[in-house]
Amino acid sequence: MQLIIETQILENYGDPEKPFWKAKGGNTYHVTGVPLNRDYQSIVEAAGVECDNRMLREYIIDWYLEGDDFLSEFEKYQLEVEGELRFPDPRIEYSELVERV
C-alpha cells in the first residue's frame, strides 16, 4: 500500500521585508510499503516534506491511501505521451520513517 501526500508550493517573488507569495504547483509524494491499520497522520508528519523559509513554502494539502500500482496523473500522462516514465514522483520508503513515527 502507498500513502500519497499532495503538497502546494509557494515562492516568494518579493523579499523578506515585502514578501509576494505566488503559488507554483506542488508535489505528489509516494510513501511506499505502508502497512495497514497504522496512524497515517503520524506517517505523513514523519515524511518531512514540508518546508517554510523566507523564499519557499511547501505544505501538505491532502493525503490518502492507494494501492501499490498507483500512478499520479503526471506519471500517467508521461506514460501515455512519452511512452516511458522519465520523471517519477518522489518516493519515500516507509521503513525509512519507522523510527520517526
Domain boundaries, the chain: 2-100
Local confidence band at 99 (pLDDT 50, 70, 90 cut-offs): confident
Gyration radius of the chain over CA positions:
16
Q: Residue 98's pLDDT is what?
A: 82
- Write the pLDDT tens digit of every residue in 27-38: 999 999 999 999
Question: pLDDT band at 96, cuts 50/70/90?
Answer: very high
Question: What's the burial of 70, exposed, middle or buried (CB within 10 Å: 0-12/13-18/19+)?
Answer: middle
User: Strand ranges (DSSP E) for 13-83?
Assistant: 21-23, 28-32, 51-52, 56-66
Query: Which whole number is the average pLDDT over 47-72?
Result: 97
Q: What is the pLDDT of residues 2-24, one digit of tens each?
A: 999 999 999 999 998 999 999 99
* Start-to-end CA span in the chain (Å): 17
**Best CA proximity match to 59, nearest among 21, 11, 6, 4:** 6
* Span 43-72, average pLDDT: 97
Which three cell numbers, joined as nine digits, stand for 45? 508528519
pLDDT at 44: 96
Q: Are residues 40 and 99 in contact, defined by beta-carbon separation less than 8 angstroms? A: no
